[in-house]
Structure 1
Amino acid sequence: MQSYICRNKCAACYRQYNKVEHLVEHMRVSFHSVHEPKCDVCQKQCRSYESLREHLIGPLPKVECARVFSVRGCNLCLKLLDSSSALRSHRAACQFSRTATGLISRMSRLNLQAGSYIDNGQMSGSRVVALGCKMVGGGSDGSLDLCARVCLVGEDENIIFHAYVKPQLPVTNYRYESTGIRPEHLRDAVPIKQAQRRIQDILCNGEPMWKVRSKGSKARILVGHGLEHDLNCLGVEYPSILLRDTAKYPPLMKTSKLSNSLKYLTQTYLGYEIQNGIQDPYEDCVAALRLYMRMRYPGHPRDYASGCSDASARNNYPAWRQRELERMTPEALLDLSGSDYYCWCLDSYN
């Protein structure tokens, strides 16, 4: 009986089934693939980094995995190193907390709190751009989000564009406690239409919008947290295939498929705190960019099936193959499976 159950155990998440047809149905709808976060101790695949973290160092972790991980595991990237000495060397490179102080000092030198305008012209090297916005309130109760400050940062974490933006509607709540924005910052601010054009030019990288939407475009990948909301408030359109949103990336989301905050993700996976007191869009840009870069290089092979528009077509489990599928091993069934989201690691191949 035990061997029968093991025969029907998923090779990815290790869920066990009494009947092989139940395992086949699980594989048909689960979309397991090499892109899922994996425990380096037992090789179990998890839906998200949050569930992997719970598996390794949560309140009720897998005992053997937790024991090994406590000696040789990095609590930020959740990788298992060869030895405790290798772990000590790894932490120097993995923990971004060592650069948090430098980040604050760079923000201070740029004097971004004092109403500055920065436009570094055309940049040729950066393929990835991070966007951060700060909103003030409009409407009778101040609950309507109006973009009043915007920042674009390149892969080198240097500012490409930064400006205070004059909203088209009257501001009824400056939300100073979190934004640091006062009326004088917006008195001579850039008109939002001008900011829209400049941001669009930077993102499209000199190409018209119709070409940006086509394959092989030179347009830049846009990274951020809550990008759809930021772009809507800015009034900027950009193709979804070029958006990398840390609020919607499945491996970074909660197990319940709800979004984690940028503050939580930065603390948990980058090792330093942000958004304490008055928030700076440059700080948000850098945090989202670092999260993207970390997720972009997870070290697994390319899966040509990942990111297909039709998730159901990616998993090769048609009903007419049911008998053939039931004769396959769990490992063979896993080989047929592909993820139902575009893994950011594929950006490094393009």
Structure 2
Amino acid sequence: MAAETQRNKCAACFKQFNKLEHLVDHMRISYHSVHEPMCGICKKHCRSFESLREHLIGPLPKPECKDIFTIRGCKFCLAILDSPNARWFHQDRCQFSNVKTGLLGRLANLGIRDNLNIGNGGARGPLAVALACKMVGGGSDGSLDLCARVCIIDENENIMFHTYVKPTIPVTNYRYETTGIRPEYLRDAMPQKLVQKKIQDFLCNGEPMWKIRPRGGKARTLVGHGLDHDLDRLQIEYPAGMIRDTAKYPPLMKTSKLSNSLKYLTQAYLGYDIQNGIQDPYEDCVATMRLYMRMRSQMHHIENYPLASDPQNRNNFASWRQSELERMTPGQMLEISRSDYYCWCLDSRG
């Protein structure tokens, strides 16, 4: 029985099953793929980086993996280096400094900046931009979020757009302790309708909304954290396929599949603190852009059809193939398994 169970062991997450048909059922719904975070020691696939972190240094880590990770592992990107010395040099580069963030964030407060030019996507195609807002309160109890400040940066962390926004309804709570916004900042601020038009035109980059496509077009990739809320408050529509949200990206979510805060993600994966005291949207933009660039730079094996939803993969684990699948080894099943989410590493392949 032990040998049989071992034969029915998932090649990705190492779960064991009494019957091969149960392993097939597991593969049908697990969507294991080369895009999952993977332990550099035992090669176990994890659904998220939080799961991988628990596997390496959590309350109940795998002992042999923990021992090696403690000596040669980077606590930010969770990579395993060749030696303790290599780890030391790598981790020094892997940890971002917030000196630049704090400095330019303060400079952003000095006034508005508007570099939202159409058609400057660059030689390699449309670039990614990060957006963040700060909200004040409206309504009788001040609990209604109103966008009062917005910032957009490019991939090099340059401020392309920064302005205070005049809400369409009266502000009843400026939330000064976290926003730093005073009534006089909004008195002559840019009207929300104009902000909305400028940002939407810039993101579309000359393309009609109905024509925007994830690849091969001119529209820009939009990066942020909790973008559904920000775009809703700005009353901007943008195609989901062009959005990279660090709050909804599966590898960056909790093991419970809930979102992590941007503050936590920045501390855990970039190595510095944000959102202390008065918060600057530039600081949030930088954090989300750095997280996006880190996820985009992952080197994963190239697949012709990387998503389970691609037409060529839709029947890989179809029930009518059950007998054929049960004749496969766990490794062969992993070979045909595909991801159920779009991995940001695919953005680096044009």
Which letter maps to 2:109? Q
| Residue 119 (structure 1) aligned to one of 105, 111, 114 | 114
- How far is the alpha carbon of 1:217 from its aligned partner? 1.1
Mapped contact 2:116–2:198 kept (Cα < 8 A): no
> Within 5 A, what are the aligned runs for 1:118-197?
118-122=113-117, 123-125=120-122, 127-197=127-197
Which letter maps to 1:172? T
> Within 5 A, what are the aligned runs for 1:182-331?
182-213=182-213, 215-307=215-307, 309=309, 314=314, 316-331=316-331
Give the structure-2-normalised TM-score: 0.95
- CA distance change for structure 1 residues 302 and 276 in 2, over 3 Å: closer, same or farther? same
Mapped contact 2:31–2:308 kept (Cα < 8 A): no
- Separation in structure 1 between the aligned mates of residue 237 and residue 139 of structure 2, nearest angstrom: 24
- How far is the alpha carbon of 1:182 from its aligned partner? 0.8
What is aligned with 1:100?
98
Which letter maps to 1:5? T
- Separation in structure 2 between the aligned mates of residue 64 and residue 311 of structure 1, nearest angstrom: 41
Mapped contact 1:151–1:159 kept (Cα < 8 A): yes
- Separation in structure 2 between the aligned mates of residue 80 and residue 215 of structure 1, nearest angstrom: 33
- How far is the alpha carbon of 1:49 from its aligned partner? 0.2
- CA distance change for structure 1 residues 57 and 66 in 2, over 3 Å: closer, same or farther? same
- Separation in structure 1 between the aligned mates of residue 142 and residue 322 of structure 2, nearest angstrom: 58
What is aligned with 1:86?
86
- Separation in structure 1 between the aligned mates of residue 3 and residue 82 of structure 2, nearest angstrom: 32
CA deviation vs aligned residue, 1:44-63 (integer Å, no higher than 9, x gap): 00000000000001111100
Aligned residues: 345
Mapped contact 1:314–1:337 kept (Cα < 8 A): no
Give the structure-1-normalised TM-score: 0.95
- How far is the alpha carbon of 1:19 from its aligned partner? 0.6
Q: What is the alpha-carbon root mean square deviation over aligned residues? A: 1.6
**Matched residues, percent identical?**
65
- CA distance change for structure 1 residues 314 and 339 in 2, over 3 Å: closer, same or farther? farther
What is aligned with 1:15?
15
Mapped contact 2:308–2:337 kept (Cα < 8 A): no
- Separation in structure 2 between the aligned mates of residue 3 and residue 247 of structure 1, nearest angstrom: 42
- Separation in structure 2 between the aligned mates of residue 327 and residue 270 of structure 1, nearest angstrom: 44
- CA distance change for structure 1 residues 250 and 177 in 2, over 3 Å: closer, same or farther? same
- How far is the alpha carbon of 1:306 from its aligned partner? 3.1
- CA distance change for structure 1 residues 92 and 4 in 2, over 3 Å: closer, same or farther? same
- Separation in structure 2 between the aligned mates of residue 231 and residue 311 of structure 1, nearest angstrom: 31
5+ residue gaps, structure 1, are: none
Which letter maps to 1:70? T
Mapped contact 1:305–1:314 kept (Cα < 8 A): no
CA deviation vs aligned residue, 1:241-299 (integer Å, no higher than 9, x gap): 00000000000001111000000000000000000011100000000000001111121
- How far is the alpha carbon of 1:88 from its aligned partner? 1.3
Secondary structure at 2:134's aligned position in 1?
strand
Mapped contact 1:138–1:169 kept (Cα < 8 A): yes
- Separation in structure 2 between the aligned mates of residue 215 and residue 31 of structure 1, nearest angstrom: 23
- Separation in structure 2 between the aligned mates of residue 325 and residue 311 of structure 1, nearest angstrom: 19
